[in-house]
């Protein structure tokens, strides 16, 4: 779990301390752990990994995704849409590079028809269908299982 937590964070450009992540995971599991003081990002990713481990067989839902997002964003004060689909009409971009010359790695689709919420609902339904749970709840009702195109 700690390797997955570290590599997941590295993909996002965040380098976490392995010992602190491992200690935080152990605490989340209720095991005796070293007295490492984990930063909010290390605690959040550890909490998410343990939650994932404990609930992997449960159907996926918006609430699950939002909960994981809240865990990952533990301690973040600079974001407005934590634990929900984004609401800003401005494009969301993943950037790297210097302030004056950023490199755009990804730009999220615009809010509106075919929005991230619509796409996520489709993903949740298809994920549950492919896992055989067939669970369709909340906003997913009426969307049933269909072939992935």
Question: Most distant CA pair in the chain: distance in Å?
Answer: 49
135-145 core/surface letters (b: 16 or more CB in 10 A; e: else): bbeeebeeeee
Per-residue pLDDT at 60? 86
Q: What is the pTM of this model?
A: 0.72
**C-alpha distances in Å from residue 77, one per residue of 40, 81, 82, 97:** 11, 10, 10, 23
Per-residue pLDDT at 145? 63
Write out the two tokens for 12.
């996002």
| pLDDT band at residue 135 under the 50/70/90 scheme | low
Per-residue pLDDT at 115? 66
């Amino acid at each position: 779990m700690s390797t997955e937590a570290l590599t997941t964070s590295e993909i996002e450009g965040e380098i976490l301390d392995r010992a602190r992540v491992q200690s935080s995971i152990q605490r989340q599991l209720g095991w005796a752990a070293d007295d490492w003081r984990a930063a909010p990002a290390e605690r959040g990713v550890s909490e998410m990994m343990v939650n994932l481990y404990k609930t992997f067989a449960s159907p996926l839902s918006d609430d699950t995704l939002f909960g994981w997002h809240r865990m990952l964003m533990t301690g973040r004060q600079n974001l407005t849409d934590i634990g929900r689909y984004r609401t800003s009409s401005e494009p969301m971009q993943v950037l790297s590079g210097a302030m004056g010359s950023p490199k755009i790695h990804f730009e999220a689709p615009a809010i509106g028809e075919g929005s991230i919420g619509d796409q996520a609902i489709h993903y949740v339904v298809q994920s549950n269908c492919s896992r055989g749970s067939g669970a369709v709840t909340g906003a997913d009702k009426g969307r049933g299982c269909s072939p992935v195109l």
